[in-house]
Amino acid sequence: MKAKASRRPFSDPFDDLTDEEFESEVLEALGKGTTKISLRVPTDLLGRTRQAAERRGVPYQSLIKVLIDQGVRRLERAPARGPRRHR
């Protein structure tokens, strides 16, 4: 049996935003040009994402776009590490 890789806990990049700031982020993401992609995600992750979007009153695909954008921005700010070796 293969052991699962340990992962750091996810911190919500929107925890510190007010509702107005969050809405502004979503609207800004919606206004940008888009490219259609196909992405497979675990069923439970999609369900949790839809619930989070519903609680915030935004479409779930818009929430996904904002989360990806914020995640990439965070990675861009972080110091680069050397290549990871897979075992």
Tens of pLDDT, residue by residue over 27-41, are: 776 666 778 899 999
The full set of domain ranges for the chain reads 41-77
Number of residues that this document lists for the chain: 87
Task: Tell me the per-residue pLDDT of 24-75, one tens digit each, with 9 for 90 and over.
Answer: 777 776 666 778 899 999 999 999 999 999 998 889 998 998 899 889 988 9
Find the Cα–Cα–Cα–Cα dihedral 62, 64, 66, 69, rounded to 10°.
-140
What pTM did the predictor assign?
0.57
φ, ψ dihedrals at 35, nearest 5°? -130, 135
Q: Which two tokens stand for residue 63?
A: 């929430």
